């Protein structure tokens, strides 16, 4: 998944009434997950996946106050799930006014090809929010819209 495609598509889609907001007050951010996705989690993490399991997003509030510290551990964390991970260097950008780093790449999970996006967002309250999106390569076109909605919905709690 390319950043330009995701950002371009995100501009085309309006917010959805078929979604539910999940705020994390300690970090000061909220995210919008489509209601059709299955959501689980705890106080500092959220996992959401499509009914068919072909796309998933994982969000975790990290204690690192600096994004650079969290990025240093990123490859180690991703290697726990994704084999043969190949990704582009991190790019700095803004997500709804929040400073973020974006990495996209490919790999495999249990022998199946996947596309991966990782966004590390600096939250208003000094935490880092790690957002890890993964889509089975064969389902990328079908699941892309839901993933875009989630990624573009991350914002500060107002």
pLDDT per position as a tens digit, 60-75? 888 765 556 666 777 7
The pLDDT of residue 7 is above 70: no
C-beta separation of 121 from 131 below 8 A = yes
**Model pTM score:** 0.79
Q: What is the pLDDT of residues 18-28, one digit of tens each?
A: 889 999 988 89
Q: Can you tell me the distance from the alpha carbon of 113 to that of 60, in angstroms, rounded to the nearest whole number?
A: 24
Q: What is the pLDDT of residues 33-44, one digit of tens each?
A: 999 999 999 988
C-beta separation of 143 from 135 below 8 A = yes
C-beta separation of 125 from 158 below 8 A = no
Q: At 11, is the pLDDT very low, low, confident or very high (cuts 50, 70, 90)? A: very low
C-beta separation of 76 from 122 below 8 A = no
Domain limits, the chain? 3-156
Buried b / exposed e along 100-110 (16+ C-beta atoms within 10 A): bbbbbbebeee
Q: What is the pLDDT of residues 69-96, one digit of tens each?
A: 666 777 787 888 899 999 888 899 999 9
- Give me the mean pLDDT over the 129-157 stretch: 89
Q: Looking at domain 3-156, which of 3.40.50.410, 1.20.1440.230, 3.40.1000.10, 3.30.9.10 is its CATH number?
A: 3.40.1000.10
């Amino acid at each position: 998944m390319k950043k330009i495609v995701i950002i371009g598509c995100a501009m085309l889609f309006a917010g959805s009434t078929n979604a539910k907001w999940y705020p994390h007050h300690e970090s000061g951010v909220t995210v919008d997950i489509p209601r059709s996705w299955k959501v689980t989690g705890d106080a500092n993490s959220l996992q959401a996946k499509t009914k068919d399991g072909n796309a998933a997003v994982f969000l975790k509030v990290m204690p690192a106050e600096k994004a650079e510290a969290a990025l240093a551990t990123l490859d180690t964390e991703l290697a726990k799930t994704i084999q043969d991970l190949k990704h582009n260097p991190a790019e700095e950008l803004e997500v709804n006014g929040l400073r973020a780093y974006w990495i996209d790449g490919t790999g495999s999970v249990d022998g199946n090809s996947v596309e991966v996006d990782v966004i590390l967002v600096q939250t208003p309250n000094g935490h880092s929010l790690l957002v890890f999106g993964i889509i089975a390569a064969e389902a990328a076109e079908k699941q892309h819209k839901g993933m875009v909605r989630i990624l573009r919905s991350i914002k500060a709690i107002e």
